[in-house]
Amino acid sequence: MLRFKSNVARSDPFSSYSQCLYGRTRGTGIGSGLIADGHLYHGAKGASGDIGHIQLNREKVPLCRCGKVGCLEAHAAGWAIARELRANGFEAEDAHDVVRLIDQHVPEAIGLLREAGRAIGEVVAGVVCILSPRTIRVGGTLAAEQEYLVAVLRERVYQRCLPLATNNLIIEATSTSEIGCLTGAAILLKQKMFTRDGSVLLLKRYQEWRLEDFDKK
């Protein structure tokens, strides 16, 4: 899970909680959220920041959960690393098991996480070239292993981007608190729903749901 920031206003709640809106907190996927000028950027369809399904140029093209092959997630998400570890005879179901194996200094797990950091770094480098953010925060279960994931990601971004974009760029791990996710979701809901337009939209949807129920009966 990644959060990109540039010129964030201190008073904006997303300056603290934005990462939760797109990211997965249990290492089940890879996503990102962009805050520009104190606002979370949604994109035309609300799907902005979905970097997990960008395809990498690799010889190996593992199947992704989305049905495509070679996505960043299929290489670097917690579930993908666990899948690779299982194929090599280790007991690993999810990102927590990956972290457990790394804490036990299992070289195969460490190697796979470092490779994941390189893969994520490649995609993030592309984002940095386009958006030139001030800060990149990395969260999620695997980010707890900063030494391997964040350090390698940082190395790859610095390697691939021009100094103008990386001179003052901060890349660091952030909190993986579940409360942070809930708070971010609540702020988004408040901003979307408790406005005049949001309330009208909610009432219209409620009306549609009621009509659908009526049709079923």
Binding residues for Zn ion (CB under 5 A): 53, 64, 66, 68, 71
- Residue keyed to tokens 């035309």: 44
CB of 73 to Zn ion, least distance (A): 5
Name the residue nearer to Zn ion (CB basis): 35 or 71.
Answer: 71
CB of 61 to Zn ion, least distance (A): 11
Name the residue nearer to Zn ion (CB basis): 75 or 114.
Answer: 75
DSSP single-letter state for residue 32: E
CB of 110 to Zn ion, least distance (A): 25
Q: CA-CA distance, 181 to 202, in Å (whole number)?
A: 23
DSSP sequence for 61-122: -PBPTTS-BSBHHHHHSHHHHHHHHHHTT----SHHHHHHHHHTT-HHHHHHHHHHHHHHHH
Name the residue nearer to Zn ion (CB basis): 65 or 100.
Answer: 65
CB of 175 to Zn ion, least distance (A): 26
Q: CA-CA distance, 212 to 167, in Å (whole number)?
A: 55
> Which tokens is 167 given?
């001179």
Name the residue nearer to Zn ion (CB basis): 47 or 66.
Answer: 66
